[in-house]
Amino acid sequence: MHEFSVFWLRAAAALYAVGLFHTLQIAIRRGRSIFRTALSCFAAGLVLHMVALVENGIATGTVLPGGFSNSVSLWAFFLGMLFLFVYWRYRIESLGVIFFPLVFVMTSAAAIRAPVQTWSSGAARDTWLVVHIALVLLGYAAIVLTAFASVLYLMQERQLKRKKSMMLLERLPPLDILDSLISRSLGFGFALITLGVVTGITWAYIDSQGSQNLVDSRLTTALITWAACLLMVTLRVTAGWRGRRTALMAVAVAVCSAATWAVHYVRH
């Protein structure tokens, strides 16, 4: 991808990040909705994204996508345009919960191409890797907390339905508090894993010296968990999942994350 095209693409990704923040805000259910601001930034990001595509087409002499960056960039642009069309036609705000993060992550992955194809020093490489690992592990910790709160929710709900009192379960928090904890820990976990995925893709690209061969098992586990969290956030917002459904899915996400980590370490 042409150097100036990368600049516009990075600017677009920065604007898309506002949409990601909107999704995180919805996930943890705090503060006033910033959908209008996020939508305006998203639309402006698409304009810059189109500028990047046109400029790259002029520089390369072809409109056909070639390579990882160009293909992912074009795909993200089409997804963004699809969302704007659907929103213009049907005014479904909740679709932004899934489209905003997807377009942001895809555009960020396409925009990581940098003129510097190697690390400035070994310390910079190690520091970036530590940041990536820390973000992912903190995200997993939040997912574990979500699953733990979900188990407590299911236990408390079962006790209330049976109308039987147990000394241990009597000390559990109320269902509304547990549901709030599930929602907020999920939101923070999703945010941390999103940042972990972006930093991980960036690290892998630079470490491979721009080969764009980013299919790495080190990122696969985080990507799977990120996709599962995105699905869970989407179902909470679009389908109104609360309580028992969310608790069961949170446990499933935690089990899926543990399974992918286990497979990763068995293979290595």
151-180 pLDDT, tens digit each: 888 888 887 777 666 655 667 788 888 888
What's the CA angle centered on 175, arms 235 and 26, to 5 degrees?
35
Nearest CA among 262, 268, 188 for reference residue 224? 262
55-98 pLDDT, tens digit each: 988 888 776 666 777 888 999 999 999 999 999 999 988 889 88
Of 33-42, 97-106, 188-197, 240-249, the poorest mean pLDDT is in 240-249
The pTM (predicted TM-score) of the whole model is 0.77
pLDDT confidence of 214, banded at 50, 70, 90? low
pLDDT of residue 115: 47
Mean predicted confidence (pLDDT) in 110-124: 67
44-66 pLDDT, tens digit each: 999 999 999 999 888 887 766 66
pLDDT: which is higher, 115 or 32:
32
Tell me the DSSP string of the chain: --HHHHHHHHHHHHHHHHHHHHHHHHHHT-SS--HHHHHHHHHHHHHHHHHHHHHHHHHHT--S--HHHHHHHHHHHHHHHHHHHHHHHH--GGGHHHHHHHHHHHHHHHTT--S--S-S-HHHHHHHHHHHHHHHHHHHHHHHHHHHHHHHHHHHHHHHHHT---TTGGGSPPHHHHHHHHHHHHHHHHHHHHHHHHHHHHHHHHHTTT------HHHHHHHHHHHHHHHHHHHHHHS---HHHHHHHHHHHHHHHHHHHHHHHHH-
pLDDT confidence of 103, banded at 50, 70, 90? very high
